[in-house]
Amino acid sequence: MTTNTTPQTDAVKQAPRPTALLYAVIGGSLLTIVSAFLAWTWTDEFPGDLTYYGSPAPIQFLSLVAALLTAAHALSALGVKGLRWLTPTGARKPVWILSLGTLAGTWFTVLAIVWVLGGVVHLEPGAYVALVGSLIPALAAYKLPDDSHKAAPAKKLPSWAEIVIIAAAFAVGLFVITFGIDTDDKEPQLFVTYLIIVGFAAIALLKSGLFDRLGLLTANNRQVTLIGSAAAAIAFPFIQQSGDTYTLIAVNILIFATVALGLNVVVGLAGLLDLGYVAFLGVGAYAAALVSGSTASAFGFQLPFWAAVIVGALASLIFGVVIGAPTLRLRGDYLAIVTLGFGEIFRIAMGNLDGTSGPDITNGPNGIPNIPHLELFGWNFGESHNVGGIVLGAYANYYFLMLLVMALVILVFARAGNSRIGRAWVAIREDETAAEAMGINGFKVKLIAFALGATLAGLAGTVQAHVNSTVVPENYVFAGPVPPNSAFLLAAVILGGMGTIRGPILGAALLFLIPAKLAFLQDYQLLAFGIALILLMRFRPEGLIANKRAQLEFHDDTADQAPTDLATAKAGA
């Protein structure tokens, strides 16, 4: 009797033992952890001061955390009791991705030291230990056999345990976000390393199946999840150590994300490509500025904030209907060109209403400055306030206000998306001709989407006008170095995931925070932006957080599985 062997069988027999490879991953990770407690350079001229022994600098702390995660997942692959839950869908992919993240973050830091200080002579032994320690896990994890499999059903946990897990997840998320926002602008290397480590860690946790498990827990405990989300968001200003510096970034992220959610109604639900959406933000901001008591206002009176909000939202609503009514009979690229033209017309018109080229309403290119701070129920938003012994700056007041605005926008988006009109939007997006054949009034449905999206943008614009205390036409362009603008708003929706709530919020946060932290790359911002979109379209076209419909559309593997099943059946026969 002869035994037939195939090259694939021989390769499996000759492959190194996974146990040895996993021990190599753990050993290299331990070296990286040890290196974090050593000096990586002898001079404090490198930002962050990596000259201390026994006290990791923040940038070394990132390598330490990445190495800990890598070692923990490797131990899970070895079957260590208490850690098996880390890899419900297999260990090879998360271990390899985490080891690559550790390698990329550590090597970037060491190379940055060499570049900034001018040579390898500035490196201390700790840097060499870090280089070797981060390289070993990456090489060993690459050789690990693929053990990907469908995750087994999770064990049923007590209600209190699920709540503890959700609370811990929110606490970790709040710490990670705060760490990134609080990085010193004078240490761009730290933020780049942070992006590398967090990016690879997020992909690894996604591949391991932990995010899916957490998603099931949050779905089963919706009230706890909402309370945890609100508590984490409210706690952010209270844990800031640098005053209002980074709270302002958070406020602008919330404004950007709120406007992106409004655009998501138009693009994500109704499928209408709007390239001039930022103009609706400008309409709301200008309307609020004109009636909020600015010394440069042509109207010369001041309405209470609630009235100014209504004025801004109604002004954007009217502009949305006026622009949408004659143009929404167009489709595709033609509609995109018309909306792009509207955005440019708005910016130019605001610059010409200066009393010379047109009526004196907006003060022309100089804009409307000196917009007074809000005051609600005796609470002045422009002053610091002591809450529970913690001093909150002026921007913390606007932060809490924007949380309320975003909560309102999320509620409107969720209710509208799940309503009859929301289903009509989706039908129009998928196939307008078929939807109209089924009795849907396409023009009416699209006009409602356009008007609702414009109203939500105007609502955010009223707050933006008071936060910035000035409104100028240059803030509302199609594309520019500083978001929000129409290009970045559209990118936030596509990057995060069209038709979802969390997607545009995440996309807006990334697209605002990264340029704010990496100002030295401003000249190459659009280049990096384009490369990122190309990579996203190639590897995750449905967005970072996609709905189930998009995932099925872009990752339908039924066609690929049929030949494999047929080949398996023949082999078995």
pLDDT score of 170 more than 80: yes
| The dihedral sign for the CA sequence 340, 434, 504, 210 | negative
Confirm whether 8 is domain-assigned.
no
- Whether 209 and 330 map to the same domain: the answer is no
Number of domains in the chain: 3
DSSP state of 383: S
The count of C-alpha atoms lying within 13 angstroms of the C-alpha of 344, restricted to the half-sphere facing its C-beta, is: 8
CB count in 10 Å sphere of residue 439: 7
243 lies in some domain? no
Whether residue 48 sits in one domain with residue 157: yes
Judgement on whether residues 166 and 291 belong to the same structural domain of the protein: no
Whether pLDDT at 570 is above 50: no
How many other C-beta atoms can be found within 10 angstroms of the C-beta atom of residue 522?
11
User: Lowest-pLDDT range, 196-205, 310-319, 365-374?
Assistant: 365-374
Residue 69 lies in a domain: yes
Cα separation, 571 vs 573, in Å, equals: 5
pLDDT at residue 426, rounded to an integer: 86
Who contacts 232 (Cβ-Cβ below 8 Å, separation ≥6)? 170, 171, 173, 174
Residue 37, pLDDT above cutoff 90: yes
pLDDT tens, residue by residue, 76-118: 888 888 888 888 888 889 999 999 999 999 999 999 999 988 8
Examine residue 484 and say whether the peptide bond preceding it is cis (omega within 30 degrees of 0).
Answer: yes
- Does residue 449 belong to any structural domain of this protein? yes
| 215 plus 364 within the same structural domain | no
What is the Cα–Cα distance from 523 to 418, expressed in whole angstroms? 42
Q: How many residues does the chain have?
A: 573
**242 falls in which pLDDT band (50, 70, 90)?**
low
Residue 515 and residue 560 in one domain: no
**Are 24 and 126 found together in one domain?**
yes
Task: Judge whether 430 lies within some domain.
Answer: yes
pLDDT in the model for residue 554: 59
Q: Is the pLDDT reported for residue 552 higher than 70? A: no
On whether the CB atoms of residues 523 and 481 are closer than 8 A, the answer is no
Average the pLDDT over each of 157-161, 242-246, 268-272, 376-380 and give the range with the smallest value.
Answer: 242-246
Q: At a CB cut-off of 8 Å and minimum separation 6, what does 346 contact?
A: 276, 279, 282, 283, 476
Residues 397 and 503 in one domain: yes
How many Cβ atoms are within 10 Å of 168's Cβ, its own excluded? Answer: 11
Cα gap 112→170, rounded to integer Å: 32
Confidence category of residue 567, pLDDT binned at 50, 70, 90:
very low
Distance CA 268, CA 18 (A): 45
Instruction: Report the distance separating Cα 312 and Cα 315, nearest Å.
Output: 5
Does 130 have pLDDT greater than 90?
Answer: yes
The region that residue 355 occupies, defined by phi over 0 for left and psi between -120 and 50 for alpha, beta otherwise, is left
What is the band of 29 on the pLDDT scale with cuts at 50, 70, 90?
Answer: very high
Same domain for 533 and 558? Answer: no
Helical H runs in 265-369? 278-290, 305-327, 332-352
| pLDDT at residue 519 in the model | 72
In a domain, 7, yes or no: no
Tell me the average pLDDT of the chain: 82
The residue range of the domain holding 308 is 255-539
Inside any domain, residue 377 = yes
**Banded pLDDT at 149 (limits 50, 70, 90):** confident
Residue 134 has pLDDT above 90, yes or no: yes
